[in-house]
Amino acid sequence: MTGKEPISLGRKILYAICGLGLLSALLRLFLGLGATTNLNDAYPWGLWISFDVLAGVALAGGGFTMAATIYIFNLKKFEPLLRPAKLSAFLGYLMFIIGLTLDLGQPWRIYHPMIMWNPHSVLFEVAWCVMLYTTVLALDLFIIGLERYGKESWVKFFRDIYLVLVVAGVILSTLHQSSLGALYLLLPEKMSDLWYSQAIGPLFFTSAVIGGMSVIVLESLISAWAYKRKPEMSILPSFAKGLSLVLLVYFCMKVTDLYARGATVWVFDKAHFFFYLELFGTVALPAILLSFPEIRNTQRGLYLGAGLSAFGVVLNRFNVSLTSYGGYRAFSYFPSIFEIIITISLIAAAILIFDLGTRYLPLYKSELSGEAG
């Protein structure tokens, strides 16, 4: 791929969406949240928190999951998936930060948690972890950039201390992925008992691993299709087997948790519909599908399994943050057109930058030769 070919139709559409998003973001900044969103005192948190923040961070869990797979569990055969995962994780966090900035009432004060501390606040910890982890991801991409420009001595320096970055990334991810769930520990009376749980932290962490792994599979398949490469069918099925195992673990955790709390599971209403869809349609079903070699050895099977589980993670975050809170108030909430455009344009921007990265960065090069000792 060279940068000189004419811009394809797909890219044109993505650029157009980004333009609309930029315009909406400006409107949001100048007119305020009340004028441009459907948020209100009954629903202080809406689509941006559910999708850009909660779901986005979980889907960007691929960075630390892959780093742990390669460097901590030493499963080196999966290395071709590592660098694209790092790039997509970084973009996930970047988009999350932009989304969150627009969601804040005072975006220009986003640095306040750095200098104004409240160590009692889970959100304070999330802010710090996300800040540090995004720095780790940025450093990692910086090293890849150094490689591209042939700064061998610099690359060697960073590779020598690379284990520090990996361990820091894994610690920070474990903390903030689970703490995003722990934000909801303070809302027992507002949430449906289908989702309110003392175990919400570990549940969020495990489903972030699922989100990360399924995005890695999807991203690998889709970029192979987009750049007319051969998908990594020698390793993806085995990776998907791992995904199916994590899904199984997560399913058991969910069921144990529901049983231990004695949640009212067998009723039929709107919340329960989304609950069944989440637990059976997007956790149990892909776990079963991907456990069959006949299914996970085909591209279509991988698309289906990974697609369902990624959708399941998103659905879970919406359920925790909106469905579960919905029964509490007589009011209802549906995002405004600006909220939707900005969310979609963040996804479009991430795809465009990923496209740039794929073309200009050595994403498919091995880094294990100079591995940390």
Partner 1 sequence: MSKAMLIDTTKCIGCRACQVACKSWNDLKAERATFSETWSNPRFLSSHQYNRIIFQEIQRPDGQFQWHFISRRCMHCLDPACESVCPVGAIQKLKDGPVVYDDGRCIGCRYCMMACPFQVPKFEWESAVPLVRKCTFCPERQAEGLAPACATVCPTGALTFGERSQLLKEGHRRIGANPGRYHPEVYGEKIVGGTSKLYLTAVSFEELGLNHRGFRTDLGDVPYGIYGRQWMAKVPWVALTVGGLAVGLHYINKRRAEIQAQEHKED
Q: Where does this chain bind partner 1 (CB under 8 A)?
A: 29-35, 39-41, 44-45, 68, 71-74, 76, 103-107, 109-110, 112-113, 116-127, 163, 166-167, 170-171, 174-175, 178-179, 182-183, 185-190, 201
Residue among 307 and 370 whose Cβ is closer to partner 1: 370
Q: Which is nearer to partner 1, 184 or 275 (CB)?
A: 184
Gap between the Cα atoms of 155 and 233, Å rounded: 30
Nearer to partner 1, 107 or 281 (CB): 107
Residue 241: alpha-carbon gap to chain centroid = 20
Minimum CB distance to partner 1, residue 361 (Å): 25
User: Tokens 């900005």 label which residue?
Assistant: 342
Closest contact distance (angstroms) between CB of 114 and partner 1 is 10
Q: Which residue, 49 or 295, is less far from partner 1 as judged by CB? A: 49
User: Minimum distance from CB of 85 to partner 1 (Å)?
Assistant: 17
Q: Of 178 and 207, which CB lies nearer to partner 1 in the complex structure?
A: 178
Are the C-beta atoms of 173 and 20 separated by less than 8 Å? no
Rounded CA-CA distance 163/165 in Å is 5
Question: What's the closest the beta carbon of residue 133 comes to partner 1, in angstroms?
Answer: 12
Which residue lies nearer to partner 1 by CB, 46 or 357?
A: 46
- Smallest distance, Å, CB 113 to partner 1? 5
Q: Which one, 132 or 233, has the nearer CB to partner 1?
A: 132
Q: Measured from the CB atom, is 12 or 76 closer to partner 1?
A: 76
**Residue 100 CB, nearest approach to partner 1 (Å):** 8
Shortest gap between Cβ of 42 and partner 1 (angstroms)? 8
Smallest distance from partner 1 to CB 66, Å: 14
